[in-house]
Structures are given as structure tokens and as C-alpha cells.
Structure 1
Amino acid sequence: ALLLAVLLGTAAWAAVRWAVRLPVFNFRAIQVEGDVSRNSVASLRANALPRLKGSFLSMNLQEGRAAFEAVPWVRHAQLRRVWPMRLRVRLEEHRPAAYWEARTDGADAATEASAERALVNSFGEVFQANLGDVEDEDLPVLAGPPSTAASMLQ
């Protein structure tokens, strides 16, 4: 009796895992909301969609969030499943507050070769994005190790 119960439980578990992967449970639409001024639909489709895995029932929302947050200019993404078969994505984009020249510890201003250009957002977080997308050319330029960005911005 115990062996039969284990076999039935295993079969039921396998059937459920198979069923949630059926095409009928695929997302029908992905609705993007929030701050999307710097990311087009094409940019989000090219950068985030290939990294999304799973269906309405099986997708890991933390992995989905990471896929959207890997897109340039996206600071934070919040994902929710919405019936029927939709994924709602709310985005918050970085707001550039300064240009950033990341230097390794011990590098001085004369060591330009060791500097890497990036941006600092209004939260003091260094992020990579296309510098040509920055509309405000009057942003200050800060430099130093990345761990000092937040304190330098204040």
C-alpha cells in the first residue's frame, strides 16, 4: 500500500509538472507600465524576453525581475501574474545625477587609462547605459572607486 501511494504521488507530481508547461498556459501578453521613457518596446523585447523562462504557472518571478533589471536604464522591475495569462511589469528607470569615472583604488586623476565611464543615479548607484542617451549635458563628473559613489553624490 505504501509503495502504491508513493507511485501514485510521483505520477501525480509528474503530471502536474507536465501540465504547467503546456502551451495553453503561455503568457498571452506582457503589459509594461511605469517609467519607460528610455526603453522602447524593441529594446525590452531584445534584452529581457530571451531571458524569460516558463509559463503563467511556472515562471520564477524573481528570475523574470532580474531579466528586466539587466536591461540598460532599468533600476527596478516589479512583476505580477494577471489572469488571464498576462504578465504585468512595472519599471522604474535610473535618473542620472552625474557622470561617473570608475577608478581602481590607488589610481589618481592622471591615470585616465584606468577610468571607465558610467553614470550615477539619484540614489548614488553606479550603472552602465549608453552615454549618448543622456539629455542633460551639464551633469557633474565624479570619479573614484565605485563604492564611494553614494557619498560623493551627497
Structure 2
Amino acid sequence: MTDHQPAFGKTPVAAHGAPGGRARPESGFWHRPEWMNLVADALVVVATVGLTYAVVKAVTRLPVFHLQELVVTSPLNRVTRAQLEYAATSSMQGNFFTVDLESARKAFENLPWVRHAQLRRRWPGVIEVSLEEHEAVAYWHSVDSGDTRLINNYGEMFDAASNADMPVFSGPTDAGVLMIEQRHHFDDLLKSTGLHVVALTLSGRHAWQIKLDNGMLMELGRDDDKAPLDARLTRFIAAWPQLQGRFDRKIVVADLRYPSGFAVRTTDNDQRKGVQ
């Protein structure tokens, strides 16, 4: 090692201990004013929101905002005043702001004749209720359980008490709309006879059976391309005036499942066939 070489491992040190004589800038959160200002602003916003929420909650719970009135805006035919009062008192807790309208809606829709319910607030203390009632078109008799329900014009089943004069349906639970349509269709075809469908049955194999208001049971069977159901029923309707004059006893069963004719049974169990 010569005299012109510095001692091994030694480096010139500048002021403040920074190599090369340049000062190192201070670092860290407390030396960053822009960060501190950003956090301070965020804390102010959070505090303001929290305080506003607390004030709103406190104000909305004041007794001055209690519910004053329940107004039903739709005409009602089936739902009674007592049922409305029960649904309201059992579900509408709190004041004008805190009452749970969704819970109240479900309570009104649980009433026997209510299909849909809508509720809304009206300042200063009114809750408006609009109800859509079921329009029953038939009784639905379950062969499996023996229970009887009602079916509305949408093909939906519901539970309610009724003594209305309506037809009785029996069939698959998802066939409500189809049976409503078929009942009207059969009545249209039977119009010339003056008879009407009072009971309609659809089996699991899609075989139809109808009972008429004169007590006659008609076995229609399944619709078939080779022997369409409408064609078989129309053939029987065309022969109906002659059948009435031919038998002095009441026809209790008409079997239309034959491809080219039909069979009838009278009150004395006499069975005869008509073929065309």
C-alpha cells in the first residue's frame, strides 16, 4: 500500500452523516403535511356523517311522528274491516319513519282474500294500503288429500271460505289455467243444449271428465289426433235432441271415448250405444 491510497475501509463523511455531503430529507407520516390533511378531512367527514345519522335517528323516534291513520285506497269486496285492523295492529310497530312496510305488506297478503298488497307513506302520519283481492272462479278439490281450496282467475289456488255457486275442478296442481280455459270452451260448445259444466276433472293421463248441471256425467277421454275430443263432443251435441226424445229415462252417463260413436247409460242402468 502506497502513501497515495486511503486507508482501507474508510470513506469521507459529509455533514450530518450523509455520504457525499448531501442532507437526507425527513420521511414518515408526521413529516407529510398533505397526508395529515387528507386524514383530517376524512375524520371530519366520518364524524359529520355519524353525528347526522344519530340526530336523524333521534328525531325520527320522537312521539310527534306517530302513525295517525291507515287509509285503504282500493275498493274491497271480500276483506273485512276486522281483518284489516288485525293485520295492521299485528305488523305495524313504530312511528311514521320506523314502521316496517315490508313486514306489514306480508301481513296483509296473509289475509284470506288478498292476492297482493302495496303500502306507502304519506306525510305527515298516514300509511296508504292498496289491496288486490282474489277473484275466485272455481273450487279446487284434491283427490289425494280430500281438501277443497279456491282457484282464482289466474289459475292460482288459495285458502278462503266461500259458498258461491262455482264449478268444482280436480286435476294436477299446475293445470289451473288450462282447466279454466277448457271449462269455458266446453260451455261454449254446449251452449245449444242449454247445459253447463258444474264439475271438471283432468286425470294424470290427461283424460277429461265433465259433469253437467242436469246431473249427467260425460266421459270425454284424451284428445287424440285420430279422434279429436272436440269432434266427439260436437257429435254428441248434435244427437242430443234425438237422445232426449228416444229415452223416457234420464241419461246419467255419456261415454264419448269411442272413435266413431258414443254410449249412454240411463237411470235404470240400461246402456246403449249410438254410432255414426
Q: Same fold (TM over 0.5)?
A: yes
Shift of 1:54: 4.1
Task: Give the match's secondary structure for 1:146.
Answer: coil
The 1:18/1:95 distance shift into structure 2, 3 A limit, reads same
Structure 2 residues without counterparts, runs of 5 or longer: 1-39, 182-276
1:78 to 103, 108, 118: 118
Corresponding residue number in structure 2 for 1:123:
154
The 1:135/1:117 distance shift into structure 2, 3 A limit, reads closer
Aligned residue runs from structure 1 range 10-89, under 5 A: 10-89=50-129
Q: Within 1, Cα distance between the matches of 2:122 and 2:172? A: 42
Task: Give the match's secondary structure for 1:98.
Answer: strand
Larger relative contact order (C-alpha < 8 A, sep ≥ 6)? 1
Shift of 1:17: 2.2
Shift of 1:97: 0.4
Q: Within 2, Cα distance between the matches of 1:151 and 1:21? A: 52
Shift of 1:64: 2.7
Check conservation: 1:48, 1:71, Cα contact below 8 A. Answer: no
Amino acid at match of 2:152: N
- Whether 1:140 aligns to 2:180 is no
Q: Within 2, Cα distance between the matches of 1:122 and 1:81? A: 31
Check conservation: 1:99, 1:118, Cα contact below 8 A. Answer: yes
Bigger radius of gyration among the two? 2
The 1:15/1:135 distance shift into structure 2, 3 A limit, reads same
Shift of 1:120: 0.5
Task: Give the match's secondary structure for 2:78.
Answer: coil
TM-score (norm 1): 0.77
Shift of 1:13: 1.1
Q: What does the per-residue CA deviation read over 1:125-149, in whole Å, with 9 as the maximum and x for residues that have no partner? A: 11111x2xx242x211112343222
Corresponding residue number in structure 2 for 1:152:
179
| Large movers: runs of 4+ above 6 Å | none
TM-score (norm 2): 0.46
Task: Give the match's secondary structure for 1:91.
Answer: strand
Q: Within 2, Cα distance between the matches of 1:29 and 1:37? A: 21
Q: What does the per-residue CA deviation read over 1:45-94, in whole Å, with 9 as the maximum and x for residues that have no partner? A: 11343122443223343333222111110112222222221111122211
Shift of 1:96: 1.0
The sequence identity of aligned pairs, in percent, is 39
Structure 1 residues without counterparts, runs of 5 or longer: 103-108
Amino acid at match of 1:124: G
Q: What does the per-residue CA deviation read over 1:11-50, in whole Å, with 9 as the maximum and x for residues that have no partner? A: 2212212322322222200011323222222111113431
1:5 to 21, 24, 45: 45
